[in-house]
Structure 1
Amino acid sequence: MAIGRRTRDALAVVAIALASAGLLVSPAFERGRGLSLDALTWLRFETFGNLHDAADSPAVVVAIDEESYQTPPFRGSPLLTWTGEIGRVLTAVLDGGAKVVGFDMVFQTSIEQSEIPLGDSTLGEKTRGFDRDFLRALASAAAGGKVVLGEIFGEQPILPAPGQRVAVRQQQNLRPLNTYTDSDDVVRRHPLTLSVDGKAVPSMALELAARARGTTPVIAPEGVTLGDYNVPGSVPGTMSLNFTGGADDVPTYSFADLRACAIKGDKDYFRREFAGKVVLIGTVGIEDRRLTSKRFATRAEGARRPRCVLAERKLTETFARSTIAGVYIHANAVNNLVRQDAAIELGRFAIFAIAATMALLAALLARLLRPAAAAAILAGLGLLYTGLATALFNHAHVLPLTEPLAAGVLALAATTGYRFMVSDKDRRLLQKSFAYYLAPREIDRMLASRRLPQLGGETREVTVFFSDIEGFSRIAEQMSPEQLMALTNEYLSAMTDVIESHDGYVDKYIGDSVVAVFGAPLDDPDHARSAARAALGCKAKLAELNRTSTAFQGIKVAQRIGINSGAALVGNFGSQRRFNYSVMSDAVNVASRLEGANKFYGTTIIASDGTVALAGNEFAWRELDTIRVKGREQSLKIYELHGRAAELSSREQALLTGYAAGLAHWRAGELPQAADRFSQGALDDAPCDLFAQRAKAALEGGAAAWDPVRSLQEK
């Protein structure tokens, strides 16, 4: 069964939209899917800044940073030897009111376990008891559930040293530090649970948040609940991270400063900074750095909170890196869980629906509009959608960006290609084939109606335009056929361009003559005004050709133009197999006679009174005469289009005024006065000269020789 063009195009648009959306949501685009979250994190930060005051962050970081490595007594000492001072800071932080402390670092061994020979013993034997203060601090904190040590699950698990595990009561206070990485090596989600021997174990972040809120997480196959918060997650067992951006989102303290503060005994500082906080202790430097969904919204890092003892340190790193230290991933996950603002991502079907909607809009735009206009509107829709997505992300809702926008661009390109290759192929062929025979607007109207041209027409008000080259036979005698063709083609091309630029339609060429119509096939309520403007334009263009055209061979070409307005039948006329879009009525015949009347009056443009009434006062009209043309009994007043009223000189104004006065005397039968008036302008003006001779002849011939209406029996 054959389907119509409209149905075919509609099916093509829907198919392109669905295919574009399906491709962008398919696994083939998996690596680009996370870009939505990355882009929204950046857009929100650049638009709104941080949504929370850093001082209100539930989680803070104690950074073992470059400053700590360079500050005595740690300078030149391996981290393994810092345990006693770490224990000192741990105790001070907990005494300051911290809710819980988590370690984002694993001391796998102890210096007390070293078997390196030292004198008559080993290093371990010589340093026996070195970790005692650290272990005591861990044990004390573990007794109140205030500390959680980190471990890393894997084929070869990374565990704290045995003494540390005993101090924190083994698995009671041990939680995994594993992170979740997308296929493009970017961290956008964080584990809530990990499986060990078929048992779900809370991650470090979930455990710290649960202890901070004083509740126990409920782990079920359908998800994780923390108190009254059902933690959202697009990947089972994970939560989507909601980074705020910048470098001040998680308060950071230099370990070296806190160690000096603990020795100083400034308990007020620890209470002021750590009361009610979740504290994470970890390294912040060039190691353990990760790409996250915050990668476009990072800033230069450093200890940003007020110091206790050490002076403010000038940061040597003033640039923003796209990576962040791993400890900030855990801190951000804790903040999301405590604030209950983990990112809420849509499912694959919802993303497909949004992408398909955007692709369908793009395909429809490409089908109905020109490519540039369709692209501009799609860009505007894309900006509006991006703004909406950015605003919604303030409330943790993640609308997909890459899939809908990319699907829209793909659908726009595909539909444009479809139009070029299939849908518009017939249109282009028809326009190319008939552009030389039919009016361009008639072709467009025919294509819009999806119907082929048919015989028949309609009656409407139009203005008919006739033009002719004066003395064309004389010019033809002076030129070879090739030269005459070059002159004629250049003249007709120039006149056609002027006529069409004023919304006229060239009906036909008859030798050197041009027949045009205004007001059809395109509706034009100002058709008379358009025709008058075109006539003046043709007159000016011919003057230019006389000055510049090489095809004119130095011959000064003159033209005559007739304009008439009235009701006419416009449409397709001819036989059943060949026809032409044309105009037919008495108004056409009158326009032809007016064109010929110019040679009697020595004028260039003559219009009927009907055209003058419709065209208005924009133009300077001179009433020439009242005539009766051949083949028509009814008389009509004719006017010369002298120019534009605003451009009329005082001399021209005086000429037209004098002519009008002479014409009034002529019609009143006051022949001496008429002869006197017309003779005043006879030397410079052909119509005045003509009427001066007519008035003289009437005076000589008596009353029988005077007739106010002139009959033109010649064309």
Structure 2
Amino acid sequence: MTIGRRTRDTLAVLAIAVVSAALFVSPAFERGRGLSLDILTWLRFEAFGNRQAPEQSPTVVVAIDEESYATPPFNGSPFLTWTGEIGRVLGAVLDGGAKVVGFDIVFPTSIEQSEIPLGDSTLGDKTRGFDRDFLRALAAGAATGKVVLGEVFAEQPVIPAPGQRIAVRQQQNLRPLNTYTDSDDVVRRHPLTVAVDGHPVPSMALELAARARGTPLTTDPDGAVRSDDISTAGRIANTVTLNFDGGADDIPTYSFADLRACAVKGDKDYFRREFAGKVVLIGTVGIEDRRLTSKRFATRAEGARRPRCVLGERKTTAAFARSTIAGVYIHATAINNLVRHDAAIELGWRATGALALAFALAAATLARLARPATAAAALLALALLYAGLATVLFNEAFVLPLGEPLGAAALALAATIGYRFMVSDKDRRLLQKGFAYYLAPHLIDRMLASHKLPQLGGETRDITVFFSDIEGFSEIAERMTPSALMALTNEYLSATTDVIESHGGYVDKYIGDSVVAVFGAPLDDPFHATNAARAALACKARLTELNRTSAAFQGIKVAQRIGINSGEALVGNFGSQRRFNYSVMSDAVNVASRLEGANKFYGTTIIASDSTVARAADEFTWRELDTVRVKGREQSLKIFELLCLAEELAPDQQRVLADYAEGLALWRAGKCEASAARFARAATMDRPSALFAERARAAQHDAPSAAWAAVRSLQEK
């Protein structure tokens, strides 16, 4: 039996649609499934703003923030010594009418437990009773069910100190702070209970929400914890899907420092005005305990968000917004969702699969019947309409999946177009043109994986540029035959390239004996500066080995110079419409080139800019060389010599670095004579010290002016 072409193509379209939908509904797509919620949170915030005014939030946060650490009496005080003042604020908040207060911080120890010797006793004995006020405040709140302490259950549980547990009546007012993280390390859901010794314990969020609504929690015979007045349905068992608002003002936040000052002032009206009827969470808000959530695309700059009581308003910048939020806001959002009954409602896998199949069928049919460009445009229009509908529905807390149907549609479109090219339209091939371009291997792999041809254009990325060349190459060339010179050059370039690529770098081009490399592109590398520094040291070590063992070097001691600079650059495909290269363009490239050349002025091997040093890890030993102004650039910059790994620094090198640093400070202060004397200590063994000693002695007769800048202009390559 022969199958006709139309029947064959119809069956192929059906098969592509089914496979595409099945792939995006399968566990293989689990890491990308939560992206729908992330995008919808961002789209809703941009389209509608927040659903409710911040002052209507059932939950507020008392933030132990950076301001608190910098405000007397807390500045310079260990966190364990804050308990008395925390107790003071806790009492004021409860007196102000808060429904319940939860602690998103854990004090696992007390200063009263310290066994550090102090005089004829221990620190703990000397401070006995230090936590009394804190424990009394806890006990008073726990007696009326208005205080709940947090604990974290893991391989190493983190629980409050014994005195605190006793004060809150043990497990009666202790609840887990554990969170639920999706497979892509993003928090989109929150556990309702946490298994402790095989028994479910209500999470902090569920407990506080139940107490706020005055609804007791009950345990079913099967062990499930329930509340008759709180909806807890979620797509994943025993979790609630978080419905984050966007921005930074959705959860009213108060600085602990301001509340402490307000409590000392005795302004009870302020506490009643701000905290009456609220669920209060006390937690840290700063650089620690920050998490990626489904709000990650809809964050804004954080700062003081509620009227202050005593302290002046904080100056905040509206330009800086982190993609993460403090963990306390995860619990606050979960409580609000449970209290308001507005947790996100997700479709089950069957409904999601049906949507994915419908979109895949539509895309595959379009690709089979229309031109590829037309089919893609029609699918894009359909996707935009669907995304708009999903955004409107999400404003009512209903989640239409984006990733599965749109991903399946895109895959079906691409697969059907590929089928047409490979089977239906044999005279056309997608890949016939792909390898007509000269591309880096990384980009060719990316092109083949995406079934797309490369295009001219680029993007701005934070990268590190690596320049190196052979010192005195012209003199070496004069001493060797062309074939021997080629052998030496190829050996050197091969070794340097291997080192660079082994550290994650991409060799952009060779210019004679010079190597231009990029770290941080085309593949993302958050540690590009660190890897570039490691590569520079490895290149130096590899060249030392080649000088000792390579026959191609013919006994010639080859030296190299390396310049490293980090910053934003335009990376991408540059060239003509027919042929182009993946490369990098920016001022950062020019600076790296100039730093490589600066080595000959200072007698060094590796020079890096201050931007690279700031981005690199602390595992290296850097010597600040000078402040220079390179050719083609008006702004001056500090340059550093990369010496070695920190653990490899020898004692004699430490002394040289110390003398050099003191001499440099004296030089910049205009004290030329003292500077020259300091540099002279190591001048015989250290070329930069000798250079600066000579420079300082020459400047002794020129009295420095008040505008002394000590900036050296490097106008040569």
Match runs of 1:259-338 below 5 Å:
259-315=260-316, 318-338=319-339
Secondary structure of 1:16 counterpart: helix
Deviations 1:269-314 (A, max 9, x none): 1011001100000011111111111000001111210000111111
Q: CA deviation at 1:349?
A: 1.9
Amino acid at match of 1:388: L
Cα RMSD over matched residues?
Answer: 1.7
Match runs of 1:367-516 below 5 Å:
367-425=368-426
Match of 2:517 in 1: none
Match of 2:213 in 1: 213
Secondary structure of 2:231 counterpart: strand
Alignment partners' CA distance in 2, 1:294 and 1:409: 25
Alignment partners' CA distance in 1, 2:386 and 2:219: 36
Q: Is the 8 A contact 1:224 1:231 kept in 2?
A: no
Match of 1:26 in 2: 26
Q: CA deviation at 1:426?
A: 9.7
1:233 aligns with 2:234: yes
Q: CA deviation at 1:382?
A: 0.3
Question: Could you say if the C-alpha distance between residues 218 and 385 of structure 1 is closer, same or farther in structure 2, counting changes exceeding 3 Å?
Answer: farther
Alignment partners' CA distance in 1, 2:58 and 2:244: 14
Deviations 1:230-283 (A, max 9, x none): 312121111111101100000000001001111111111101100110000001
Match of 2:532 in 1: none
Deviations 1:97-120 (A, max 9, x none): 100000000001111111111111
Secondary structure of 1:64 counterpart: strand
Match runs of 1:166-205 below 5 Å:
166-205=166-205
Question: Could you say if the C-alpha distance between residues 153 and 427 of structure 1 is closer, same or farther in structure 2, counting changes exceeding 3 Å?
Answer: closer
Match of 1:40 in 2: 40
Q: Is the 8 A contact 2:200 2:224 kept in 1?
A: no
Alignment partners' CA distance in 2, 1:116 and 1:426: 83
1:141 aligns with 2:170: no
Provide TM-score, normalisation by structure 2.
0.58
Alignment partners' CA distance in 2, 1:224 and 1:374: 51
Secondary structure of 2:412 counterpart: helix
Amino acid at match of 2:324: T
Alignment partners' CA distance in 2, 1:143 and 1:217: 18
Question: Could you say if the C-alpha distance between residues 233 and 253 of structure 1 is closer, same or farther in structure 2, counting changes exceeding 3 Å?
Answer: same
Match of 1:487 in 2: none
Match of 1:158 in 2: 158
Match of 2:73 in 1: 73
Deviations 1:684-713 (A, max 9, x none): xxxxxxxxxxxxxxxxxxxxxxxxxxxxxx
Secondary structure of 2:12 counterpart: helix
Q: Is the 8 A contact 2:21 2:405 kept in 1?
A: yes
Q: Is the 8 A contact 1:223 1:231 kept in 2?
A: no
Question: Could you say if the C-alpha distance between residues 377 and 219 of structure 1 is closer, same or farther in structure 2, counting changes exceeding 3 Å?
Answer: farther
Match of 1:343 in 2: 344
Alignment partners' CA distance in 2, 1:219 and 1:416: 55
Q: Is the 8 A contact 2:200 2:223 kept in 1?
A: no
Q: Is the 8 A contact 1:108 1:159 kept in 2?
A: yes
Q: CA deviation at 1:74?
A: 0.6
Provide TM-score, normalisation by structure 1.
0.59
Deviations 1:208-238 (A, max 9, x none): 0000000123455697643334312121111
Amino acid at match of 1:103: F
Match of 1:483 in 2: none
Deviations 1:361-398 (A, max 9, x none): 00111111111111111000000000011111111111
Amino acid at match of 2:243: N
Alignment partners' CA distance in 1, 2:212 and 2:31: 35
Match of 1:98 in 2: 98
Q: Is the 8 A contact 2:217 2:227 kept in 1?
A: yes
**Percent identity of equivalent pairs:** 79
Match of 2:361 in 1: 360
Q: Is the 8 A contact 1:83 1:134 kept in 2?
A: yes
Match of 1:255 in 2: 256
Match of 1:560 in 2: none
Secondary structure of 2:158 counterpart: coil
Decide which structure has the larger Cα Rg and report it. Answer: 1
Alignment partners' CA distance in 1, 2:227 and 2:316: 39
Deviations 1:320-369 (A, max 9, x none): 00011000000000000001111111122221111111010001111111
Match of 2:604 in 1: none
Q: Is the 8 A contact 1:57 1:251 kept in 2?
A: yes
Question: Could you say if the C-alpha distance between residues 297 and 223 of structure 1 is closer, same or farther in structure 2, counting changes exceeding 3 Å?
Answer: farther
Question: Could you say if the C-alpha distance between residues 229 and 209 of structure 1 is closer, same or farther in structure 2, counting changes exceeding 3 Å?
Answer: closer
Alignment partners' CA distance in 2, 1:300 and 1:89: 26
Alignment partners' CA distance in 2, 1:258 and 1:372: 61
Q: Is the 8 A contact 2:230 2:339 kept in 1?
A: no
Q: CA deviation at 1:147?
A: 0.3
Q: CA deviation at 1:425?
A: 4.7
Q: Is the 8 A contact 2:68 2:256 kept in 1?
A: yes
Q: CA deviation at 1:197?
A: 2.1
Deviations 1:380-431 (A, max 9, x none): 0000000011111111111111111111111111111222332345999xxx
